[in-house]
Structure 1
């Protein structure tokens, strides 16, 4: 793994995390904000593959778990993003990245990641939310991520492709 790719990944996750916890709470829809960090992990998976995306997903998840105003058990986002990185990376290995497959991958990844986060909270008895409330959060999260995909994913994918074009999937 090249130093430039690691630095780029750190910068992308840091910017996404800063925006997610500082700017986007002001445009929250029924308390749900877009998950920009998830979009960075998906973008990395689509360009670099599952292995890189899983490592990035773990690091990004830990950062999101520890970023204020975190009110949950640390490690839940890390687990969710590792699985998202793996699944999105495997999709990228099997399918050509067209706009339709990218949107489908983002929708599936958002559903999977948010569901894993919610289900781990139920298992750990972390949130005080009922299952119908969690389902509403998952649906709103998928909607937010799909709305932001055309604005975020092309930039993220271009960044990861440009740093080492010969190694892109």
Structure 2
């Protein structure tokens, strides 16, 4: 499974800690190494505290000891898939914002970064060596291209993208 492409659907893994060959914990470590993010629920009949701690520190959603009730597993799967759904939604949001940001000209990007830090148009103009009216025009273009309904919207988008006037690289969620 590690060599196959992960489908782009909300999902989770239910792993027994003791699998033939690669243990469930080793499988979790390998997924993390490959940058594959999928919620994992561990089940085991032979668990101990250090094993549980390792699994949870590795990002496991739950650790169920056998025997467990069917409802416990169902509840864990619901929680894990909901976590995965939210993560995927956040990734799509960031990807969409990045693509919108990339449509901005370098000057529009600079204006967005400065406006998002709370500078007034006059301050942005001074910072960039532009006329205030030019900054207003760029700001209007930024609002339109980013599909921001308000300045607060634009600031939230900037925060989501991890951009600011002093930080030109974008970060991922």
TM-score, normalization: structure 2?
Answer: 0.31
Structure number, greater radius of gyration = 2
TM-score, normalization: structure 1?
Answer: 0.32
In proportion to residue count, which structure has more strand? 2
Structure of higher RCO (CA pairs closer than 8 Å, 6+ residues apart): 1
